[in-house]
Structures are given as structure tokens and as C-alpha cells.
Structure 1
């Protein structure tokens, strides 16, 4: 049976995905609008203010916009599924919803009352998708399909050594700060108004050249020390890679009824264990630890040093450090030929890829505004939040 706190990551990491996605457009949007006049504070003092923050209750709304610079994926899913969506994850599956947050713009409503009660709702027009953690119960509900997923567990069963994911904006900020080291510049970049509250801006920038990250900006509530926005900007400029932050926030304790859930009339209910053991073969009950791996991988591409666990695994070597870390993987097989892929997939890969050559031979760099990957024709893969040239240089040095 899934543990309560473990299952609750269906709610909390998804909230973090929103906050991680919403911070980037902050400075350009607010620079000309009269920023609040706050007492001067050093970067160290602001970091300490974040660390001392102990916000346990809040409710609010935030907007998430993600722009990785990817081409349209229209028709791509059907190509991978052989033209059919049957057998795919349910629309109520939290993992599918996490995936949807990595592109486009989304509005989310959140509420929290300590570690045992959280609620997040993704609003999509007239449809809503809700994740509710209340004590031993975690509910997921999709209004469009009228489907419910229910997980139930006992927090006392949780292994003590199990890795925790960042569960709040503060914890995400802590992860960024912990990973900084000598490769990073941390300063206070003025003040801002976020969701009607006065905030300081902590600006984190790579000192190294070759990273795709221009800056990380964390807007910190001046009164509570709670991060209100988290921004990730690319050296390519243009729209932020991730732009997510509160548009409304209230630190009062939400009503207890906020976290109540009653199964709607006629809804299809799937218990968490049924997806793994049930006769329908669906993946409704995918283990929360699988979600942890996928979500941890997402953060591993954002923060220097994050997601480094397993870097010494079979077939993988780590090159460099900090913001310019590159993982080298030797697949032991020639790279697949994209011209043999389905038409929709081939077009997507062609739009992503640039042909490159050097001392290493030849290959293709698959690029986004944040993470790039070089796949050589002889089957080696170099991947990191670094520029195309940094990947080519690493491949040349590897020869």
C-alpha cells in the first residue's frame, strides 16, 4: 500500500512544477511599475530569511507558463501509440497531468494546511482537474471524464531513507541555493510586487560560460520569507523557459472543508492498487516512486548539481561541474536513423535537431532552450543544460 506522505507527492510536486514554471517574466513586467521601497538586505540575509520561513498554511492562485522552444507535437502522440490512444494512461493519472504542465500556460489553485492537507486544481476552461491530500487519503479527480483515482496509505510505513522531493516553493529555493557553490553568483536584484505583496528578488546566475541558463530569480515575500515566484531564463532570451508565480495568495488557514472530497455521482473510481494488479491492465496505480524519478529528472535539468544521483551508473560518465555539467552515455549501438521514423516523428526530430561534426565524427544536437543533447552517429550521447558548442567541445575532448 502506498504511504500517505509518499502518495501526497501527487499533489505537492505538481504544485512545485507550477511554481517552478511561473517566475521568469517577473523583472521585465514589473520594472517600470513602481517597485516597493523596502529596507536594504544582503543576499546572505535574504537566504537566511528563506531558510527561517515556516509557512504551513496558504491558499491562492498562480499561473504557469512553460516555453522550452519545442516545435509543435501535434500528431506525435498518436504516432508513438500507433495511431490509437487506447492503452494509454487515464486522464485522471497524475503523471499524465505532470507531463502536460511542461508546455503552454496553465492556471492553478492551491491550498495547504501543514504536511497532511494539500489541494491543487488545474483549471482548463470549464474543466477542472483536482489533486487532494487529506490525511491518509489522496484523491485525483478529472471533471471532463468524471474519473476518480484514490490512494490510501499509512505514513508510518514510509522508509526513513526514502528521498524527499522539494514539496514547496521554499524547498525548491533551498535546492537551488544548496547547489550553488563557487560556480554561482547570488545577489539581491531589487524589489517587486507579487500577488499584491512586497517582495525581494534573489538573483542566481552562473559564473561559468557555456550554460543555457541565464538566471534563476526567486521573489521572496518580505514579511514571511516565503518564495512567491521562481523564474528560469535562458541565454537565448525571448520568453522565459519557466514563468510561474502566485497571482493571489493568502497565508490564513484554509477552511477544513477545502480538503474534503466526495465522489461525484456516476464517477468511475479506481483504487491505486488496481492499475498494477487489475485485469484491465491500465496504469492508473503507477507507484509514487516512479513519479518521483520522473519529476526528479525534470528538476535535474534546471539546477546545477541536482539529479546527480546515479551519475556514476553503468555506461554514464559526468564531465565538468556546476552549471556546465555534461552527462556522457555510451549506448554501444549506432544512433537510430531518423529518416526511418514515422512522418510526424521525423518532422519533430528534424525541427529539434542540428547536424554537427568535429574530431568526434558527426552527429545531431537535439535542442531546447534549457537542455540540449548531442547524439553521435557511433552511439554516444552528451546531455546537459549547456550550449550546442559546449556539447561539441566535450565530444571532441572525449576523442
Structure 2
């Protein structure tokens, strides 16, 4: 248990630093004057403070707002949800499946309640009017409950003990200073990190860690992380696009308490009359999904196998055997691959889908020929008419330039 706790104390800060380490250069800067008035601190010292955080317990209310700049997908979403519900009734994915429910957070505004008591007990509740969806981890058990459908999902064997925890502990730097040094060592000259003043988040004093690309062509304007001045715990995360307007992601606590939550917070008993779906069957396969061998048989029957399903080529691999390539570096990295098939025509899609795709796409031309750029405020993708794909958190022009350079 001691080893597990040692690893878990770094979970949040290591996730933050790990993302940064892949693409950033550290620029020490002193915190500007602001409200609240806190002691000056450098960016490196703030990273060390995050890494030194030993937050094991907390509870509070968390708000997440996401704006990818996409057109309204309400009609499409309703259709997909209806299809998912009917699929669950026929033995498909249940409405309580965590991976399905948490995808709701990628659009709109959502209020969540969170609680944690060490690595073995956590609870997340998504509030939707009078309806609630709860995901509870308590020891070896994971429970998910959807009050709207009165359905329960249960899975055993979710303990954080074991080789995974031991591996993570071995891979992590031993001290906060070592973690900061690793960030510096892995970083290049693509980004500046500064302390951009102070803020008050959920009634607590915080420093603002600001990450900004130095490279042109990125769709990312900045990433801001509000860090609790006392505990070093990240309290808020904001991702802004070069397009301006509302943040792409604005997620943070509106209320937080670092005291130990009551043990009863993590107790769960299926309500009377609720439908309960067990996560694994007697063969160790997901109960609500088909086993891989059964999926393969279905694909062979309906499409002639995976190659038939994708028109002779798997995504990420071209017909001549070439796989995915990565070009560029830092914030302007672009992944490219050849599907080996001509791009599908949007006018061949159903009417409601066609309108959605048209609103996402811009026709472009260049030395590479012609194609369509499918865009959001952060991630854009160019698909050429001859089936080549370029995707990254870069501008439309950066994708066109990459396609032209490949010719």
C-alpha cells in the first residue's frame, strides 16, 4: 500500500508535467502582481510544487465547459443515443457503460461532484438536471449508475494494487526537483512556460501556470493551469484557441475541500428494480460486448474481413504497406497516412449527416491536388481526394503546406 500511495501522489502532477515535457521549453518568470497577493515564484518552482503535492483526499464540485467550435450535433447525437439504447436492449452496450457516458463531457457545460480518498476510493457524479450518472471506485469494485434509465454497471478487479502501480512508481522521478529536471531535459525551444499572476479558484489562492507555443501554425493559443498555492494541487485547466472566443476547455473546481470524505460516500447498493450489468463474463470477456473472435467472424461475414470493411486498406496503413508518419515537431506536429482509397464523397452520405459534414469541411487546393479540411477550434484534418490524410493541432494552411511539401 505504501508503494501505491507513493505512485498515486504523483498522478495529477505527473499527468500535467508529462504533457508539457513532450513539447515545451521552460522559461523562468516571476509571478506578476495580482490578487491574491502571493510570494513570487518561478515557473520551475511551481512545477516542483505541483510534483510535491501529496493530496490524497478531496471532495467538491467541478464544472467542465467544452467548445470545439463544432456546429450543433443535437439531432445526430439524439439519433446515436437512441441507437445505443436499442442496442443495449438487444445485448449491446448499456447506457451505464463508463466509456460511453464520459464522452458526453466533450461538448457543452457539465457540473460534476467529485470525491477521493487515496488510490482505492474515488467517486464522480455527472449532474444533468434531476438526473445523475455516478461512477464509483471502492476497492476492487467499480460501479456505474444512471438514474435516468435506472441501470447499473458493475465490474470487479479494479484495485490499484499490482504491477501497474509498481511500474508507474519505478518510471516516475524520485523527487519534485528530479521531475522538474526531467521536464527541462525533455523540453525544446517550442514553448514558453511562465507564471502569469495569481487567481482565486473555488475560494482558494492560486498561481497561474501559463503554457504558450512559440511556433506559428499551431491552433493552441495557451494553456493555463491554476495551482493551489498551499497544496500544489491543480484547481483549474483552461485551453484557448488562436481563433479566440470561448475557451476550448474550461474545467475547474467551483467548490473544494481537502478533508477526508466520509466512508459512506463510496458505498453503493443497486436501487430496487434496477437492471444490473456485470462487466465481465465467465470467460473474462466484457459481458456487454462481443468477444474479439465473434467480432472478427461478423466482419468476415458482412464485409469480407477488416480489409473489406475499409475498402482494401486499414486506417493508418496504405495499400502498399506504408504506415503512419509524423512530420514536424512540438506544437506543429502533423500525423499523416495514406488510406489507399479515394476519399468518400459527402453527397453520398445521408442528408442529415451530409449537412453536418459540409459544415465541418472546407474545400482546398494546392500542388497536392484537391481535398477537404475538416476543422475544429483545435484539431484539423485534411483528406485529399486521393485518400491521403494529414491531421494535427495546426491551422488549415499548415495542413495544406504539409500536403504540398509531400509532393
SS at match of 2:74: coil
* 1:37-78 C-alpha deviation (Å, 9 max, x unpaired): 111111111111111111110000011100000011133257
Give the 5 Å matches for 1:192-341.
192-274=199-281, 282-283=288-289, 315-341=323-349
- Are 1:100 and 2:108 an aligned pair? no
Q: Which has the larger radius of gyration?
A: 2
Query: Any unmatched runs of 5+ in structure 2?
Result: 5-10, 20-33, 293-315
**Contact 1:108 1:120 (C-alpha < 8 Å) held by counterparts:** yes
Q: 2-side partners of 1:276 and 1:381: how far apart?
A: 39
- Are 1:132 and 2:136 an aligned pair? yes
Q: 2-side partners of 1:328 and 1:163: how far apart?
A: 31
**Contact 2:85 2:94 (C-alpha < 8 Å) held by counterparts:** no
Relative to structure 1, the CA distance from residue 136 to residue 278 in structure 2 (aligned partners, 3 Å threshold; closer, same or farther) is closer
* 1:254-273 C-alpha deviation (Å, 9 max, x unpaired): 11111111111111111101
Q: 1-side partners of 2:385 and 2:167: how far apart?
A: 39
- Corresponding position of 1:187: 194
Query: Any unmatched runs of 5+ in structure 1?
Result: 6-11, 21-33, 287-309
- Are 1:362 and 2:366 an aligned pair? no
- Are 1:353 and 2:357 an aligned pair? no
Structure-2-length-normalised TM-score: 0.76
SS at match of 2:103: helix
- Are 1:115 and 2:123 an aligned pair? no
Q: Pick which of 139-148 and 34-43 moved more.
A: 34-43
- Corresponding position of 2:37: 37
- Corresponding position of 1:379: 387
**Aligned-pair RMSD on alpha carbons?**
3.4
Q: 1-side partners of 2:82 and 2:132: how far apart?
A: 29
- Are 1:90 and 2:60 an aligned pair? no
What is the CA distance between 1:314 and its match in structure 2?
5.4
What is the CA distance between 1:183 and its match in structure 2?
0.9
- Corresponding position of 1:305: none
**Contact 1:315 1:331 (C-alpha < 8 Å) held by counterparts:** no
- Corresponding position of 2:55: 55
SS at match of 1:257: helix
Q: 1-side partners of 2:191 and 2:231: how far apart?
A: 26
**Contact 1:57 1:111 (C-alpha < 8 Å) held by counterparts:** yes
What is the CA distance between 1:210 and its match in structure 2?
0.3
**Contact 1:62 1:107 (C-alpha < 8 Å) held by counterparts:** yes
What is the CA distance between 1:90 and its match in structure 2?
2.0
Q: Pick which of 149-158 and 265-274 moved more.
A: 149-158
**Contact 2:324 2:335 (C-alpha < 8 Å) held by counterparts:** yes
**Contact 1:131 1:140 (C-alpha < 8 Å) held by counterparts:** yes
Q: 2-side partners of 1:56 and 1:157: how far apart?
A: 19
Q: 1-side partners of 2:277 and 2:236: how far apart?
A: 35
Q: 2-side partners of 1:378 and 1:320: how far apart?
A: 22
Q: 1-side partners of 2:82 and 2:113: how far apart?
A: 35
SS at match of 1:87: helix
**Contact 1:211 1:324 (C-alpha < 8 Å) held by counterparts:** yes
* 1:281-305 C-alpha deviation (Å, 9 max, x unpaired): 843999xxxxxxxxxxxxxxxxxxx
Structure-1-length-normalised TM-score: 0.78
Relative to structure 1, the CA distance from residue 265 to residue 85 in structure 2 (aligned partners, 3 Å threshold; closer, same or farther) is closer
Number of equivalent positions: 341
**Contact 1:215 1:232 (C-alpha < 8 Å) held by counterparts:** yes
Q: 1-side partners of 2:58 and 2:187: how far apart?
A: 28
SS at match of 1:101: helix
* 1:122-160 C-alpha deviation (Å, 9 max, x unpaired): 000001100100111110001111111111015556557
